[in-house]
Structure 1
Amino acid sequence: MSHTERRLEALKGYLTWTTVGRICLALVPLAMVLVILGGLTMGAFYALGFGPLLGWAWGSFEAATSWWAKGLIALATLGGVAGFAAVVWRLGERLREEFGTW
């Protein structure tokens, strides 16, 4: 236990603002990729008509009076969103396999 405490004390001073800045700078490409993929996914999402479909599902959920009807609507809606996410994930995997890693 004392060995671990000494090691943590030795490492405590290594995290400077320069290191934090370098870590943030290293994460910029990841953030850009996530923003671009999010934009493409959301564009495809609305182009396929999922925006109005989810609006209709939310309206149906609010109009439902019984708990089981709300549960079925929520389950079907979340299942549809999960299915769409799985399709996008598989398409991304195929693209990665076809074009390789960068």
Structure 2
Amino acid sequence: MKNNIETQKDKKKVVAYLGDKKLEFSTPLVVGGKEITEIVIKEPNLKDLKAVAHINDDFEQTVVLIANKSGFTIEEMDEIPTHIYMRLRELVKPFLS
């Protein structure tokens, strides 16, 4: 009986949905001619990861995933300031590791 109890303790429940990630700004950011006050990155699923798996460059893979999950075009991503990109990268990093 003790063995069965130890086995049950080792089984951890997994969260089914981690949730979307949001980056809010204290001042508006202009991207694609629009002022935005936040960027929401929807949680990627397996289909999203497959869509970027063929990209060998880590930087480019991250940019495309952020664009796909936040609704930006690649051209709009080019307008994102570096410090904002670095914060967005940290939000999607766990999915690309």
> Please, what TM-score do these two structures have when normalized by structure 1?
0.28
- Relative to its length, the structure with more strand (as a share) is 2
Higher helix share: 1
Which has the higher Rg, Structure 1 or Structure 2? 1
Relative contact order (C-alpha < 8 Å, sep 6+): which is higher?
Answer: 2
